Amino acid sequence: MTEAAPRSVTVLGSTGSVGRQTVELLGDPARFAVRALVANRNAAVLAEQARRLNAELAVLCDSAGYPALREALSGTGIEAACGPQAVVAAAALPADWTMAAITGAAGLRATLAAIARGQAVALANKEALVCAGAVMLRAVRDAGATLLPVDSEHNAIFQALADGNRACLDRIVLTASGGPFRTASAEEMAQATPEAALRHPVWSMGAKISIDSATLMNKGLELIEAARLFDLEEARIGVLVHPQSVVHGLVYYCDGSVLAQMGSPDMRVPIAHTLAWPSRMETPAQRLDLAALGRLEFSEPDLARFPALHLAREALRAGGGAPTVLSAANEVAVEAFLARRIGFLEIAHTAARVLDALGAPPADTLEAVLDLDDAARHAAERITKARAA
């Protein structure tokens, strides 16, 4: 029997948290052939990754780092490129599997270019599906592509739905760790520093997603993403706080059965699931020891202390471009908090004000999505700058 050819892969966002963990799993050249690695501005790490994996192409979005990248790859045979157009061109290269891990709306064009190839796209950029859900899902249908969720919660639901009994589905539940302020008072949260908000008790993640986890906006965006991915109305998607973070998602069926996907809180597990899908592959992730864990805790989220989750439900019910507005405004507010221009509680407050101002206009084309995203960002910037003045 002849051995299967290596699976060709591209990683968009290879120097971020998810991207680095993806690169870690691609070390077997007999199994994976890397077509392209794309990063924002970290030329040194990108060059090291490209050399280690013998990638065909390495691309930086920020052209300022291009001379360093080109010099680092000189003599290797690895092509170097830079700029937003080069990022989209890399995403459009034929590949069996693409990791879409460029955060925020910045990753939207590249993700759509990967989808247009009609192959498997592992989606770690939840904001793209939140802000451009109709556009992305239409592109997936038109291209016949396969969208594989990488977020641990959505990947858990994807696995628990694998028996195909969608007609018997009652509801799904996403779990949330609760973040670093799970038991903090509103007064303590009002005084929270970026350093405190970044200290996630369980997961190791990038700065933006860590802050989103602290506000529970991350879970709100995931709720919207779940509605898109699994074609469910908002009322059939629940959220439970689960500080151990080993039950990642639950599926409730009409007969009373509940299927829970469990595993150590390690992003290499859902990444590997999408990378090997429909098969599975070994990972170095720690195996779950329930006896050592001892107990599992669950509770309802406190919407008074964490209003971001309620905002996301409102945006999903409003429809149209409301999720686009929410995602963009939140991104700007998070940046302002990390820059110490606004307080922690003002992140959700800023997003709420922008939602009130812009509402839910149509966003069913890429141009409409990008225009609305831009308008929401400008509105959020005006609010945060006025607050800092």
pLDDT of residue 3: 59
Residue 269 counted as domain residue: no
Separation of alpha carbons 210 and 177, rounded Å: 11
Beta strands in 30-165 (DSSP E): 32-39, 57-60, 79-82, 97-100, 120-123, 146-149
Phi, psi at 81, each rounded to 5°: -150, 170
Nearest alpha carbon to residue 8 among 249, 247, 275, 287 = 275
**C-alpha to C-alpha distances, 161 to 70, 126, 156, 217, 361, nearest whole angstrom:** 45, 20, 9, 25, 33
Residue 380 counted as domain residue: yes
Report the amino acid identity of residue 251: V
**What's the structural domain count of the chain?**
3
Residue 130 counted as domain residue: yes
The answer to whether residues 335 and 187 belong to one domain is no
CATH number of the domain encompassing residue 387: 1.10.1740.10
If phi > 0 it is left, if psi is from -120 to 50 it is alpha, else beta; for residue 172 that is beta
Of 119, 134, 149, which residue is a domain's last? 149
Secondary structure (3-state) at 132: coil
Residue 288 counted as domain residue: no
Of 279, 309, 339, which residue is a domain's last? 309
The answer to whether residues 188 and 102 belong to one domain is no
The answer to whether residues 169 and 249 belong to one domain is yes
Q: Is 80 exposed, middle or buried (0-12, 13-18, 19+ CB in 10 A)?
A: buried
The answer to whether residues 239 and 350 belong to one domain is no
Residue 122 counted as domain residue: yes
Separation of alpha carbons 112 and 139, rounded Å: 7
The answer to whether residues 132 and 210 belong to one domain is no
Range of the domain at 368: 319-389
Secondary structure (3-state) at 141: helix
The answer to whether residues 173 and 304 belong to one domain is yes
Q: What share of the chain is helix, strand, coil (3-state, %, to 5)?
A: 50, 15, 35
pLDDT of residue 2: 47
The answer to whether residues 203 and 260 belong to one domain is yes
pLDDT of residue 200: 79
Report the amino acid identity of residue 259: L
- Taking the alpha carbons at both ends of the chain, their separation in whole angstroms is 70
Q: What is the mean pLDDT of each run of 10 residues along the chain (389 residues)?
A: 79 95 94 96 97 97 95 97 96 97 85 96 90 94 97 95 88 95 94 92 78 94 96 96 96 96 95 96 94 94 96 96 96 96 97 97 93 96 86
CATH number of the domain encompassing residue 22: 3.40.50.720
Spatial CB neighbours of 241, under 8 Å, sequence gap ≥ 6: 175, 176, 177, 178, 182, 298, 299, 300, 301
Residue 286 counted as domain residue: no
How many CB atoms within 10 Å of residue 258? 11
The answer to whether residues 183 and 156 belong to one domain is yes
Separation of alpha carbons 97 and 10, rounded Å: 7
Of 309, 335, 369, which residue is a domain's last? 309
The answer to whether residues 215 and 94 belong to one domain is no
Residue 18 counted as domain residue: yes
